[in-house]
């Protein structure tokens, strides 16, 4: 690209275009050539590429890009409900609404603004449901993808919600993937009516369908893709739970917007708050932050807390 980060015009690194449904997409770029694409339908990150142009997020070849349905892949925002554990539609309504670019966002700490190409989005409240949801997507000079969501209750009564960044990571072969950082944690198994179990393995590997909510998880998790020699490091704040999901063969065949064999190329690892929903009193605000980096697989879990990733 020929630009140093010091003189890179981060505002100019944001481009807005329309998809074939007429919905605005925002493209973020960094000086090294990494990029992220966000659809204003759902405020959903639909692409994240490294400086080699390799796609790091999975999107199904059968994904339906037609509102109001959320697209299968990328990073949909599940809010104010995760799954079907509530009165709302599956995973809540935020991923099915049209978001707007926020031209006057509330301030964030300088380290979440300086040296990043970013876009601030806003899900505007309706009259009967007065709560604000500012959401920032940014791409660091390192190529890391950073998501920051805030929920502010401007209504006159308390408001409870669950939340998840439903992150579809692209992997070479799910049977060669392991997740480190979940050992000894309790989890709720969605395949057994959310019964509570304790993780027994040193790392989580995949041999069948997995649909779990790991509780009180550490702030850094590593997803190792042995074949690609790539490790995703997921670092989070305000998101105590981690959801891990792979539909495997049988469930894949039952989903109309998912290819029969595509379970081999993806795994969902979500920073989330599910077991103990957040309750905000009037005027209170909650912030959740997720940062994903893709690093060479010489990286291992002992380094997680020491690297600052």
User: What's the number of CA atoms in the CB half-sphere (13 Å) around residue 15?
Assistant: 10
The C-alpha atoms of residue 117 and residue 190 are separated, in whole angstroms, by: 37
Residues near 26 by beta carbon (within 8 Å), at least 6 away in sequence: 14, 15, 16, 37, 38, 40, 101, 119, 137
Residues near 54 by beta carbon (within 8 Å), at least 6 away in sequence: none
72 annotated ligand binder? yes
- Phi and psi torsions of 49, nearest 5°: -115, 145
List the alpha helices (DSSP H) in 193-302: 248-254
Residue from 204, 212, 275, 188 nearest 239 by CA: 275
Sign of the CA dihedral running 73, 148, 48, 171:
negative
Contact 51, 24 (CB under 8 A): no
Structure tokens at 250: 């049988």
- What is the separation of C-alpha 189 from the centre of its chain, rounded to a whole number of angstroms? 20
90 annotated ligand binder? yes
Residue from 2, 42, 36, 3 nearest 21 by CA: 42
User: What's the number of CA atoms in the CB half-sphere (13 Å) around residue 226?
Assistant: 9
235 annotated ligand binder? no
Annotated binding site: 72, 90, 95
Annotated binding site for substrate: 72, 90, 95
């Amino acid at each position: 690209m020929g630009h140093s980060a010091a003189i890179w015009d981060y505002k100019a690194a944001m481009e807005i275009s329309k998809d074939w449904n007429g919905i605005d997409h925002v493209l973020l770029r960094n000086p090294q050539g990494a990029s992220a694409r966000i659809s204003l339908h759902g405020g959903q990150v639909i692409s994240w590429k490294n400086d080699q142009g390799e796609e790091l997020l999975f999107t199904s070849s059968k994904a339906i890009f037609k509102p109001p349905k959320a697209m299968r892949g990328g990073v949909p925002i599940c809010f104010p409900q995760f799954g079907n554990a509530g009165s709302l539609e599956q995973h809540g309504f935020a991923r099915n609404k049209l978001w707007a670019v926020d031209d006057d966002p509330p301030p964030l700490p300088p380290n979440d603004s300086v040296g990043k190409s970013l876009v601030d989005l806003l899900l505007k409240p309706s009259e009967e449901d007065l709560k604000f949801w500012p959401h920032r997507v940014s791409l660091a000079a390192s190529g890391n993808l950073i998501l920051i969501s805030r929920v502010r209750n401007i209504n006159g009564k308390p408001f409870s919600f669950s939340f998840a960044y439903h992150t579809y990571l692209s992997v070479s072969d799910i049977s060669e993937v392991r997740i480190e950082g979940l050992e000894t944690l309790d989890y709720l198994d969605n395949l057994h009516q959310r019964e509570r179990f304790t993780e027994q393995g040193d790392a989580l590997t995949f041999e069948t369908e997995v649909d779990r909510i790991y509780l009180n998880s550490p702030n850094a998790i590593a997803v190792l893709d042995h074949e690609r020699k790539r490790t995703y490091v997921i670092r989070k704040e305000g998101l105590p739970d981690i959801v891990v999901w792979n539909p495997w063969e049988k469930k894949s065949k039952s989903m109309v917007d998912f290819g029969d064999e595509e379970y081999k190329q993806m795994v969902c690892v979500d920073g989330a708050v599910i077991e103990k929903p957040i309750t905000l009193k009037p005027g209170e605000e909650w912030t959740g932050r997720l940062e994903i980096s893709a690093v060479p697989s010489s990286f291992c879990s002992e380094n997680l807390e020491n690297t600052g990733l």
